[in-house]
Amino acid sequence: MGRFVYWMNVSLDLRIEQVPGDNGAGEWLRIGEELHREFNARARELAVMVQGRVMYETMEEYWPRARGDASLPEVLREYGEIWTSTPKVLVSRTRLDADHNTRVIGGDDAIEQLAALRAGTDGTIGVGGATLATQLLRAGLLDELLLFTHPSFLGFGRPLFDDHDRPIDLDLLEQRSFEQGVTMHRYAVRDAKAAGPC
């Protein structure tokens, strides 16, 4: 059985974007080479990436082109190759197809389809998008959070999760510091439905 891991860059006040539509590309982010190499290493280990439409379209717009752009640093071209080649699931009610090794699911049974994906996958399934992560959390399917916290306080903007109707307890699994004051924390969600080993 796989594990759904919600992976996101966040501010100190747990915002993932300040300006609507920046989708993780704000000037408040401090992503240097060391941190991007960590992103690449973790992304390379994913069995599948599952992304909501907004997150997917943000990634789709940049990373397939980045892999062949000789003007970019090697670490960015490498991530472009990883993102493009990794199997992906796009969760959307409005899109019917997608390129770049992606299949689309949607409709009223999307969570059931994701539960089946989790049950039938061996390894880590990366989750991108706050709405999608909130839906998985509500369904008891979100196994872990992988948060890269940047030393900025935004004060407003898109939160890490939508409102949830009850507290969720987490267990710290891993932590690390990177250049420019960025910290990484990986947490297990205590009440996630049974999944494979961490």
Kindly state the tokens that stand for 90: 């796009």
pLDDT digits (tens, 9 = 90+) for 37-51: 999 999 999 999 999
pLDDT score recorded for residue 22: 61
- Tell me which residue of 73, 58, 74, 65 sits closest to 22, measured CA to CA: 58
**Which residue from 172, 162, 94 is spatially nearest to 134, judged by alpha carbons?**
162
Q: Is residue 104 part of a domain?
A: no
Q: What is the pLDDT of residues 33-88, one digit of tens each?
A: 999 999 999 999 999 999 999 899 989 999 999 999 999 999 999 999 999 999 99
Q: How many domains does the chain have?
A: 1
In a domain, 37, yes or no: yes
Amino acid making up residue 164: H
For residue 138, what is the domain's CATH number? Answer: 3.40.430.10
Q: Is residue 133 part of a domain?
A: yes
pTM of the model: 0.91
Residues 6+ apart with CB under 8 A from 4: 50, 114, 118, 125, 127, 136, 141, 142, 143, 144
pLDDT at position 138, please?
A: 93
In a domain, 126, yes or no: yes
Residue 27 binned pLDDT confidence (cut-offs 50, 70, 90): confident
pLDDT at 21: 58
The answer to whether residue 87 sits within a structural domain is no
Measure the CA–CA gap between 96 and 103, rounded to whole angstroms: 9
Q: Tell me the mean pLDDT in the region 105-115.
A: 93
Q: Find the domain containing 30 and state its range.
A: 3-52+110-189
- What 8-state DSSP symbol labels residue 172? E
- Per the listing, tokens 């996630």 go with 192
* Sheet arrangement for strand 142-150: 102-105, 88-91, 48-52, 124-128, 3-11, 142-150, 183-189, 170-177
For residue 59, tell me if it sits in a domain.
no
Contact residues for 150 (Cβ-Cβ < 8 A; gap 6+): 9, 10, 11, 12, 28, 29, 30, 181, 182
95 within a domain of the structure (yes/no): no
CB atoms within 10 A of CB 198: 13
- Report the number of secondary-structure helices (H) and strands (E) in the chain: 5, 10
Please check whether residue 183 lies inside any domain of the structure. yes
**113 within 8 A of 105, measured Cβ to Cβ:** yes
